[in-house]
Amino acid sequence: MTALDTAFAATALVAVAGGLLAVTTRHVVHAALWLVVALLGVAGSLLVLGAELVALVLVLVYVGAVVVLVLFALMLTRAPIGPDLEHAAGPWRTVGAALLGGAVALLLGSVLLPLAGDPVERADVTSTQVAGQLFGTWVWPFELLSLLLLGALVAALAVSRIPREPPAPTRPPQPAPSAASEPVEQEAAP
């Protein structure tokens, strides 16, 4: 096992741990921060593989824009920041998710382990070729994504500007007159 293999395994472990913590935490802000850790782990794996441009774009676009936009929207909309106990998964959902995760891991292992024998030949791709494809062929999806993010930011600002009315005070319920009560005699006016 070479040093590059060890570095790739370490960055992959950081990415997987960050991803698992992002989806299992009950705090929305903590989930966004763990997503940053997972994305930085993926960027580290790309650096080890020699795809510096893709790693830089991942850090700039996802960590620098998307996660910051999510945190910005959370702060603007006054979303609850504490644990979300209202949408807590029950024990059966947890068991089902664990079984499904185990089945997916077994399926991936059965497909990927036979490929682990022979080393894969690396294609000699330069950053100029990747940039040409990324900003030539795929420039319109990136532009549409930037418009989508801009629309989400404007929508978050619009939602945050809606005035919040305090809840109406509630009165304790008044006892209803019962039919068994005696009628009250009224005095006749002279």
Residue 165: the pLDDT is: 72
Residue 44: the pLDDT is: 94
Q: Identity (one letter) of the amino acid at 114?
A: P
Residue 120: the pLDDT is: 67
146 within 8 A of 135, measured Cβ to Cβ:
no
State the alpha helices, DSSP H only, in 25-138: 28-49, 52-58, 68-76, 91-112, 127-132
Residue 135: the pLDDT is: 79
36 within 8 A of 63, measured Cβ to Cβ:
yes
Residue 81: the pLDDT is: 64
pLDDT above 70 coverage of the chain, percent: 81
- In CATH terms, 1-82+147-159 corresponds, of 3.30.70.60, 1.20.120.1200, 3.40.640.10, 3.40.50.970, to 1.20.120.1200
Residue 83: the pLDDT is: 65
Block means of pLDDT (10 residues each) for the chain, 190 residues, are 89 94 84 91 92 86 79 71 68 87 90 75 79 82 84 78 70 64 57
Residue 109: the pLDDT is: 87
Tokens of 157: 């600002």
pLDDT above 90 coverage of the chain, percent: 19
Residue 142: the pLDDT is: 79
Residue 121: the pLDDT is: 76
The residue among 83, 101, 76, 42 whose CA lies nearest residue 152 is 76
Residue 87: the pLDDT is: 67
The residue among 49, 63, 42 whose CA lies nearest residue 127 is 49
